[in-house]
Amino acid sequence: MHVVEAKSLLTKWNAINIYRGCTHGCIYCDSRSACYHFDHAFEDVEVKQNAPVLLEQILKTKRKKIMISTGSMSDPYQPIEKKWELTRTCLQLIDRYGFGATLITKSDLVLRDLDLLAHIHHQAKAVVQMSLTCASDTMSHILEPHVCTSRRRYEVLKACQARGIPTIVWLTPVLPYLTDTRQNLKQILDWCIDADVKGILCFHAGMTLRKGSRDYYYQMLDASFPGLKQRYEKVYGNAYEVMSQHNKEWMQLFHSTCQAAGIMDDPEEIFHYTSTLDPSYEPLTLF
């Protein structure tokens, strides 16, 4: 971990990243890719200690209320957040100034801030987005070794449901030969239906691999699944898009299940929902 004074915070997509890098250890993480130009080790998390100051300056000068998002590059609830509480401080500012908030996480630490998220949703809008990749706890501990399992994340979704906070699930990536089974998909979809999620993002049954992320992924495959790297290399070569052979069947089941359950499954519709404070939006009623 190292601390910096950031010069800017909000992107043109109204997103903030309070931390840069991650210690979750997910073997498939695209943020490790060389194109993101990390000048430090990925696990040496950069802490933008002045993020709340920068955010308050932004919120004070915004004429129009918007959704502020976080978590697109680095999880806002990785372990160091317990000490620094920068994510919570930023949520407090968003709440104070009447803006909306959406965040993407794999961590159950978000439960700490459900009070804030519920209040933000009451006066504006809040959406918790949770990544679910693997229904098996055993497999999850291998693929995502330093973060809570998908089963635990399902429990987080249920807690959000109980507080009236809408949720979106990222069912991605889907790892060929590892998580691209019908059984895995059905279990995750059952969790999503039971937790009454608003939408599920699943672009395809596959993943992306590029320089940096591919190297790390193959290194981890060698450690836990000997011989699987060679299978990937034979089937996919250096392809950026790595598609499961079960993609067609997987996506048919995914879309039919979502449509039957009334769950959004169109990425464009979901992105609009998470990024927009729609004038017709009706805030949560407390009573």
Say what the pLDDT of residue 72 is.
Answer: 87
The CA dihedral of 45, 49, 53, 58, to the nearest 10 degrees, is: -10
Q: List pLDDT tens digits, range 45-75.
A: 999 999 999 999 999 999 899 999 999 889 9
The pLDDT of residue 280 is 52
**DSSP conformation class of 72:** S
The pLDDT assigned to 35 comes to 82
| Residue 145: per-residue pLDDT | 95
The list of the chain residues with pLDDT below 70 reads 278-287
pLDDT of residue 283: 47
Angle formed by the axes of helices 86-96 and 51-61, nearest 10°: 10
Kindly report the pTM of this predicted structure.
Answer: 0.94
Give pLDDT, residue 42: 87
Q: How far apart are CA 173 and CA 189, in angstroms?
A: 15
pLDDT for res 287: 37
State whether CATH 3.20.20.70 applies to domain 2-275. Answer: yes
E strands along 203-272, which residues?
A: 206-208, 241-243
Give me the amino acid identity at 281. Y
Supply the pLDDT for residue 286. Answer: 42
Q: What's the confidence (pLDDT) of residue 108?
A: 98
Say what the pLDDT of residue 38 is: 80
Task: Kindly report, residue by residue over 95-117, the tens digit of the pLDDT.
Answer: 999 999 999 999 999 999 999 99
